């Protein structure tokens, strides 16, 4: 399976458990009555591409009620598939389409949140720069300026823009600040909300709880992600929730207190221990009681 970075790069170039079987009906009804729990479509990308409708039905049967979209065919196709499966789509990542086409796709899907997956990398591609993006203080300010522009455009289109992070955003840029700190201080809080990827925050050496506490109301979205212990610098093998290095009990408590609206499970590969859909089952079983 290609990495998320490879998938987004290719798309940009082309287009500018056992737990479920044991669960009683009462437990399933209780879960359905709780706060919504979603999944990023990228996590089950191979399964979805092999069997779109079957995969979405399986996610619904596990207990997920929401999908965070990436577009691999057309927005209308995905919308029809989600409607058939009975899944909501409150958020989408637009990098593979670009801003303008992404806004159109968001309206087709009926989403509320318009999210950049890797904004510095997206900016580099717009300039034709094939090198890795920088994460200096000046880079943070340029990224913030562009994020504000996207946020303004999204607002005019009736959507809310949100910035999704990776671990690079927690690079130190001097004066006791990180790239992410500068980005937050330089963006308009009304135009630029956050999708806090808690696994990548942890991989960047920071605690997601601190951000939820420091920015109440600004983080309506989050990704629940876990990693195994890193075997080498800049290697982050994905893990099922509860089987890696991140404890989500304090994170979910802080997120709810901060005003979180939507939580999406997203696991990085490789899926060598279990399949993508089995990982989705394990992740749901771990996170549902905390949500």
219-272 pLDDT, tens digit per residue, is 999 999 999 999 898 899 999 999 999 999 999 999 999 999 999 999 999 898
**Axis crossing angle, helix 52-62 with helix 276-287, rounded to the nearest 10:** 20
Q: Taking residues 209-218, what's their average pLDDT? A: 98
Task: Give the C-alpha separation, 65 to 11, whole Å.
Answer: 26
Closest listed residue to residue 183, CA positions, set 123, 124, 143: 143
pLDDT on residue 130: 86
pLDDT on residue 138: 98
The average confidence (pLDDT) of the chain is: 91
Q: Taking residues 204-223, what's their average pLDDT? A: 98
Closest listed residue to residue 36, CA positions, set 88, 110, 85: 88
User: Which one is predicted more confidently, 2 or 129?
Assistant: 129
Task: Give the C-alpha separation, 266 to 115, whole Å.
Answer: 15
pLDDT at 149 over 90: yes
- Dihedral sign, Cα of residue 98, residue 16, residue 199, residue 20: positive
Q: Taking residues 11-29, what's their average pLDDT? A: 38
Task: Give the C-alpha separation, 128 to 122, whole Å.
Answer: 10
Closest listed residue to residue 96, CA positions, set 13, 160, 165, 163: 13
Q: Taking residues 43-58, what's their average pLDDT? A: 98
pLDDT at 7 over 70: no
pLDDT at 213 over 60: yes
Residue 51 is encoded by which pair of tokens?
A: 């069997």
């Amino acid at each position: 399976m290609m990495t998320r970075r490879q998938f987004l790069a290719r798309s940009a170039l082309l287009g500018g458990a056992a737990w479920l079987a044991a669960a009683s009906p009462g437990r399933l009804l209780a879960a359905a009555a709780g706060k919504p729990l979603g999944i990023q479509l990228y996590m089950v990308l191979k399964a979805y591409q092999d069997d779109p409708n079957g995969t979405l039905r399986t996610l619904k049967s596990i207990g997920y009620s929401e999908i965070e979209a990436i577009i691999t065919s057309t927005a209308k196709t995905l919308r029809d598939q989600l409607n058939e499966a009975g899944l909501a789509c409150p958020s989408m990542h637009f990098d593979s389409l670009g801003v303008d086409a992404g806004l159109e796709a968001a309206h087709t899907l009926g989403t509320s949140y318009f999210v950049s997956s890797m904004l510095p990398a997206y900016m580099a591609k717009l300039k034709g720069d094939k090198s890795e993006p920088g994460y200096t203080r000046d880079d943070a300010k340029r990224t913030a300026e562009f994020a504000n522009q996207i946020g303004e455009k999204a607002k005019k289109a009736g959507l809310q823009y949100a910035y999704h992070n990776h671990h690079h955003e927690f690079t130190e840029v001097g004066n006791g600040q990180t790239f992410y700190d500068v980005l937050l201080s330089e963006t308009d809080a009304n135009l630029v909300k956050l999708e806090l990827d808690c696994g990548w925050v942890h991989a960047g050496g920071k605690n997601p709880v601190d951000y939820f506490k420091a920015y109440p109301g600004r983080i309506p979205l989050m990704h629940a992600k876990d990693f195994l212990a890193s075997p080498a610098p800049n290697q982050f093998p994905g893990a099922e929730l509860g089987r890696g290095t991140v404890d989500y009990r304090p994170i979910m408590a802080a997120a709810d207190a901060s005003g979180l609206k939507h939580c999406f499970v997203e696991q990085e590969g490789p899926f060598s221990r279990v399949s993508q859909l089995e990982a989705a089952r394990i992740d749901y079983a771990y996170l549902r009681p905390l949500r």
